[in-house]
């Protein structure tokens, strides 16, 4: 596949000229401004996906954008995954050693990462404490990508003093705003890049080549969930829904997964799922496919009859957007950022996370009615075009930076 560095002009024809022109005007006002994004991994998960696309484009339009990855160690990532889970609502308790390790890794990184850019954007909880270890007068923004509506009390009371040191907090949906937080908060939806290898159009030849190379049979329809092996993505639930669907329509399940450097839970859950799904893996009706190649993910999202996203919590759910953009109908849980993308019955189907029968019923309806699937898919694509492409996101960032100047 021919790789090419993207330019803003490449998006003409995909999005409106008006947005490209507005980006051009705002970018001129910020020409040469330095901005740094800091997160905890350069691979795996939605944040890395976004930065990988957004940072080069910021540079193309004249900013001087930088991306730093916090240097963690395995024990630190155990603690930060625990924070992730506690902030998303699990009842977990941290001991002093864990809290000290969290602060120590942040303090150490602050000693060798110079974050004296005009704007500093810190993503998610892992590097959130940096704000207290770097003396600064420049604006710092905390960009929180997870669902923090019901955090465990200890996790939030530990994290809140760091958050209060930021100029602004950004979340993905209205309900994530904290009513009593003493700093300004705003919403910014994430985005996908329509011309990245993950989302670009693919020829029939490329699709056939990938299906063949990864031995994905097409003699029956398949449904897919693309997700890390994470408890919030409910892999067990995905399997149960598949069992219910299969009683009515002969099909396969593809679970496309990758591992993220800052998520140590993945391997354990993968091993558990290997045991749980063994009979289906042996019969070839369930395939666990490692999705490190973005073109493979693209192929799966395009060729699946239905995309599932059975999460029990979901900050936003880029996998939903990715499928919507490809015109593949999505059945997803009515949680977190998913309902900002899916209007039930219009741009996909929403189901309650515990309602396995309801979820299976929607999947079956889409498998049996190709007109319905095509209509939902087409509506989803147009909704994604309007709301969740990278150009809108880039413009949101320009507006944010201008408001912080």
- Relative to beta strand 252-257, strand 119-123 is unpaired
Rounded Cα–Cα distance for residues 343 and 170 (Å): 23
Of 45, 72, 264, 377, the one binding ligand UDP (CB under 6 A) is 45
Instruction: Tell the smallest beta-carbon distance from residue 230 to ligand UDP (Å).
Output: 7
Cβ proximity of 162 and 128 under 8 Å: yes
Among 77, 242, 316, 349, binds ligand UDP (CB under 6 A): 316
**How far apart, in whole angstroms, are the C-alpha atoms of residue 183 and residue 58?**
26
Taking CB under 6 A as the criterion, which residues in 282-301 touch ligand UDP? 291, 294, 297
Nearest to 155 by CA among 264, 79, 233, 69: 79
Joined tokens for residue 242: 């598949």
Task: Find the part of the chain contacting ligand UDP (CB under 6 A) among 15-23, 82-90, 105-113, 255-263.
Answer: 255-263
Of the ranges 18-26, 212-220, 253-261, 264-272, which one interacts with ligand UDP (CB under 6 A)?
Answer: 253-261
Structure tokens that stand for 343 in this block: 């209007």
Rounded least distance, CB 256 to ligand UDP, Å: 4
Q: Segment contacting ligand UDP (CB under 6 A): 117-125, 312-320, 348-356, 383-391?
A: 312-320
Stretch that binds ligand UDP, among 1-9, 220-228, 327-335, 365-373 (CB under 6 A): 220-228
Specify which residues 169 forms β-bridges with.
142, 185
Closest approach of Cβ 314 to ligand UDP, in Å?
Answer: 7
Burial class (CB in 10 A: 0-12, 13-18, 19+), 1: exposed
How many residues appear in the chain?
A: 405
Q: DSSP assignment, residue 38?
A: E
- Min dist CB 222 to ligand UDP, Å, is 15
Shortest distance in whole angstroms from residue 52 CB to ligand UDP: 9
What are the tokens at 285?
């009706």
Residue in the shown chain whose Cβ atom is closest to ligand UDP: 291
- What are the helix and strand counts (H, E) for the chain? 15, 12
How many of the other CB atoms lie within 10 Å of CB of 250?
A: 12
Is position 234 an interface residue for ligand UDP (rule: CB under 6 A)?
Answer: no
Minimum distance of ligand UDP from residue 404's CB (angstroms) = 25
Choices 10-18, 205-213, 256-264, 350-358 (CB under 6 A): range interacting with ligand UDP: 256-264
State which of residues 58, 223, 318, 398 lies at the interface with ligand UDP (CB under 6 A): 318
Q: Which residues pair with 64 in a beta bridge?
A: 34
Is residue 336 involved in binding ligand UDP (CB under 6 A)?
no
Helix, strand or coil for residue 331?
strand
Stretch that binds ligand UDP, among 213-221, 225-233, 272-280, 356-364 (CB under 6 A): 225-233
Q: Which is nearer to ligand UDP, 27 or 289 (CB)?
A: 289
Q: Is 319 in the site for ligand UDP (CB under 6 A)?
A: yes
- Residue from 68, 123, 228, 302 that binds ligand UDP (CB under 6 A)? 228
Of 49, 66, 193, 265, the one binding ligand UDP (CB under 6 A) is 49
Distances (CA, A) of 146 to 4, 47, 178, 257, 296: 31, 10, 13, 19, 26
- Alpha carbon separation from 48 to 145, 175, 181 (Å, rounded): 11, 24, 27
**Could you tell me the smallest distance in angstroms from the CB atom of residue 301 to ligand UDP?**
8
Q: Rounded to whole angstroms, how far apart are CA atoms 214 and 321?
A: 24
Q: Which range touches ligand UDP (CB under 6 A), out of 44-52, 112-120, 241-249, 325-333?
A: 44-52
How much helix, strand and coil, in percent to the nearest 5, is found in the chain? 50, 15, 35
Q: If binding is defined by CB under 6 A, does position 322 make contact with ligand UDP?
A: yes
323 near 330, Cβ under 8 Å?
A: yes
User: In the complex, which residues of this chain contact ligand UDP (CB under 6 A)?
Assistant: 45-46, 49, 198, 226-228, 256-258, 291, 294, 297, 316-319, 322
């Amino acid at each position: 596949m021919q790789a090419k560095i993207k330019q803003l002009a490449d998006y003409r024809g995909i999005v409106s000229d008006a947005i490209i022109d507005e980006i051009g005007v705002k970018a001129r006002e910020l020409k040469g401004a330095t901005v740094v994004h800091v997160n905890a991994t350069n691979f795996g998960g939605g944040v890395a996906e976004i930065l990988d696309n957004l940072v080069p484009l910021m540079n193309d339009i004249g900013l001087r954008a930088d991306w730093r990855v916090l240097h963690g160690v395995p024990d630190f990532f155990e603690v930060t995954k625990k924070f992730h889970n506690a902030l998303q609502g699990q009842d977990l308790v941290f001991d002093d050693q864990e809290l000290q390790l969290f602060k120590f890794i942040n303090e150490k990184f602050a000693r060798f990462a110079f974050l004296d850019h005009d704007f500093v954007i810190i993503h998610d909880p892992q590097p959130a404490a940096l704000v207290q270890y770097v003396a600064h007068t420049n604006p710092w923004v905390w960009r929180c990508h997870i669902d923090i509506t019901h955090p465990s009390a200890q996790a939030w009371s530990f994290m809140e003093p760091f958050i209060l040191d930021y100029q602004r907090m950004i979340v993905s949906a209205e309900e994530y705003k904290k009513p009593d937080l003493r700093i300004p908060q705003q919403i910014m939806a994430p985005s996908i890049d329509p011309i990245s290898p993950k989302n670009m159009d693919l020829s029939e030849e490329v699709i056939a080549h990938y299906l063949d190379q990864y031995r994905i049979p097409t003699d029956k329809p398949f449904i897919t969930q693309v997700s890390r092996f994470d408890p919030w993505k409910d892999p067990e639930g995905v399997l149960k829904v598949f069992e219910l669907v299969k009683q009515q329509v002969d099909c396969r399940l593809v679970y496309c997964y990758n591992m993220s450097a800052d998520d140590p839970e993945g391997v354990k859950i993968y091993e558990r799922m290997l045991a749980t799904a063994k009979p289906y893996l042996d019969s070839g009706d369930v395939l666990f496919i490692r999705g490190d190649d973005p073109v493979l993910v693209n192929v799966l999202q395009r060729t699946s009859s239905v995309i599932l996203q059975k999460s029990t919590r979901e900050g936003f759910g880029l996998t939903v957007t990715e499928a919507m953009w490809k015109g593949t109908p999505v059945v997803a849980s009515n949680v977190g950022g998913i309902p900002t993308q899916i209007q039930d019955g219009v741009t996909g189907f929403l189901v309650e996370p515990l309602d396995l029968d309801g979820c299976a019923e929607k999947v079956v309806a889409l498998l049996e009615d190709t007109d319905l699937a095509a209509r939902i898919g087409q509506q989803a694509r147009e909704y994604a075009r309007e709301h969740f492409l990278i150009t809108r996101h880039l413009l949101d960032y320009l507006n944010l930076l201008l408001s912080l100047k």
